Structures are given as structure tokens and as C-alpha cells.
Amino acid sequence: MKTIGCYLTGILPRPEGLIETTRAYERGRISREELENAFEKATKEVIKVQLSAGLSYVIDGMLKWQDLLRPFTENLNGVSVGSLARWFNNNTFYRKPIICSKISCEKSIVKEITYIEFLPKNIPWKAILPAPYTFAQLAENQHYRDKNELMFDYAKILNKEVTELADIGFQHIQLSDPALVYQPTSKSIFKDELVIVKEALEVAVKGVSAKTCLQTFFGDFTRVLPEALEFPVDYLGIDLYETRVETLEKYDFDKSVALGIMDGRSSLIENPSGLAKLTKKIVKTIYSSDFKEMFVCPNCDLEFLPWKRAKEKIKTLGVLARQLEKELYE
């Protein structure tokens, strides 16, 4: 029995109405309550679109997240919100977490910011959090002896977060790890570092009952192969718009993959038949034996697109998954 699932992998773009509202709020023209109402309305809309597209898991859309790290940057003890920095190779910016003292947390960060009450009961839920390596790499460390120490402290907090999310019903936890593969100027592969990354991941997902995925993007996944095959997660997410497929196909996977086959940074709507063909080719080469479960997904967040285009991409994703399921069964 094979399953082809599909889901989203990051922050969704704010629908037009919400953009207008956030701008009005920023200019002091509307109240906090009106802003909150607009977020609720938009969240319901982005959930509805995922349902009608027939995705296998649903996310709340993360519309409030100013960047992937922000809920943590704002809520962890020992961290202050720093200045703007470029979000990898995008024309989008995040605020650097400045680590001023040992980090800790009494709150439930992701649970608090997520619109759990709007998530439908009839479809499994997915939550997305920054992976230990990415958090540590993007932070400005003014306290810890080195970034690894910071990474392990963050992984412990992350474990508390994901355990809690799994307990309240999230069946899929994605840890987003762009920094692990985004190495545009370095030729060497950090093999030693990957051992530590694996240990930090072990801390982060220890005892978690939900399925876990390490979603990489903005870089070539083959940089972390074959080590990533041993990472303590159920799925590995691969950005096919940055990964050399020829190299990828040299490896034998016994782990499930989430193929980032839809380009979240291009406004062009993909042709599902073309993507299905490529997916089948990759699947046939990376699995020498039969595979049990895999996902097709956008390569990264869809927040780089206007919502209208993102919506079309979400629909196409559903079409692609159904087409694949049909064709792979035949």
C-alpha cells in the first residue's frame, strides 16, 4: 500500500484584505481588535482553500508569523528582537534573535499563536517550527560559548513545544531547516557538524508521538547526504528547485521524502502532468525497494507569492497528488 500525501510547508501569504488591514493598523487607523478579526477571517479562508484542494494535512497558514523565527524571538527568555536581516537569498527580511542570556521558556509559544479552534476535525493537523540548526545559525549569539550550545538549549525548548503540540492533536510536526542546506559560498560540506545536528534533532523530537519531518529548502539537499538518511525524523523534505536531481538519484532512500516540487518563489502555475512525470522518475530511482509513503509539497513557504497565485498553486498540488496516486497504483 502506497500513500501519496500533499501538504504545505510554511507561512502562507496574507490575502489582500488582510494586507490592507495590517497596513491600516500600522498607520494607526484601526484597532487591535479589528486587526485580530481580519486575521481570524483570513485564517478561515486559507484553511478552506487547503480543504477544497484535498490536502492530506492542514496548517493554520501561519499568517501572524512575521518570520519563521519570530514567535520564538519574541517569546523566549534571554532573547531580544534584533535588526532586520535578509532571509536567505530573498527580497524578504527577518529580525535577528539576539541571544543575551541563557534561553528558557515557560509559555507555550506555537500553541498560543496557532488558530487551533479553526482547524477542522476531519483532517489531520500539521505544525511547522524552526529546526535547531537554523535557529542557532540565524541568531546572533552574545551569550553562549558557541552556537552548538545554543542549538542544544533551543532543541530542549523545541522538544517541549512539539510534545505539547502532539498531545493536543497535531499528527505531523515539520521542522524547517533552510540553513542546513543553504551554503551558497562554501564548497566544503560540514560533515562533522552533521553529527551534532543529528544529536540536536534527537533532543528536539525525543518521545514525540507525532510524525516528524525535517524540511530543507533554499539549498541542495545532496549536501547533507548520506548523513541525513540517519536523522531521527520520519520524513526528509527536499527542495527540488535547488537540488541536483542527478546527484540525489545516486542515493538509496529507506526513509520517506517530502518532495518540494512546486516552486514557492515562482508565480508560474506548474503543469501537474509534468511534475507527476518527474516525481515518478525520482521515486523510481531513489527507492530500490518499494516505498510506503511520500509527500509532494511546495519547496518552501508560499509567502513569496501574492495570495491569489498561492491559492492556485495549492489547488494544483491537490491535483498532482491525486494524479500520482492513480498513476503509481497502476
Residues near another protein (CB under 8 A) are 13-14, 16, 19, 22-23, 25-26, 66-67, 84, 86, 89-95, 184-185, 220, 240-246, 263, 266-268, 274, 303-309
What is the rounded CA–CA span in Å between residue 246 and residue 217?
A: 17
In the complex, minimum distance from the CB of residue 303 to another protein, in angstroms, rounded to a whole number:
6
As a whole number of angstroms, the distance between CA 58 and CA 51 comes to 7
Question: Least distance to another protein from the beta carbon of 213, Å?
Answer: 21
Q: Rounded to whole angstroms, how far apart are CA atoms 162 and 211?
A: 11
Residue whose entry in the numeric block shows the C-alpha cell 525524523: 233
For another protein, give the closer residue by CB, 72 or 307: 307
* Cβ at position 148, least distance to another protein in Å: 24
For 183-211, give the DSSP string. -TT--S--HHHHHHHHHHHHHHHTT--SE
Smallest Cα–Cα separation from 165: which of 59, 297, 51, 42?
Answer: 59
| Shortest reach from residue 202's CB to another protein, in Å | 31
CB of 190 to another protein, least distance (A): 17
* 222, containing H or E segment: none
Q: Which three cell numbers stand for residue 10?
A: 510554511
* Strand-pair partners of 296: 6, 259
The CB-of-76 to another protein minimum distance in angstroms stands at 19
Cα torsion 321, 323, 328, 330 to 10°: value is: 150
Residue 13 half-sphere exposure, CB side, CA atoms within 13 Å? 22
Nearer to another protein, 124 or 178 (CB): 178
User: How many angstroms separate the CA atoms of 131 and 144, rounded?
Assistant: 18
Least separation in angstroms between CB 188 and another protein: 15
Output 211 or 265, the one with its CB closest to another protein: 265
CB of 113 to another protein, least distance (A): 15
| Ordered DSSP codes for 97-135 | EEEEEEEE--S-HHHHHS-GGGS-TTS-EEEEEE-HHHH
The three-point CA angle 259-265-267 to 5° equals 110
Smallest gap from Cβ 10 to another protein, in A, equals 12
CA distances from 217 to 47, 112, 330 (A): 23, 26, 31
User: At 242, is the secondary structure helix, strand, or coil?
Assistant: coil
Q: With respect to another protein, which residue has the nearer C-beta, 190 or 241?
A: 241
Q: Which is nearer to another protein, 14 or 172 (CB)?
A: 14
**Rounded Cα–Cα distance for residues 326 and 256 (Å):** 19
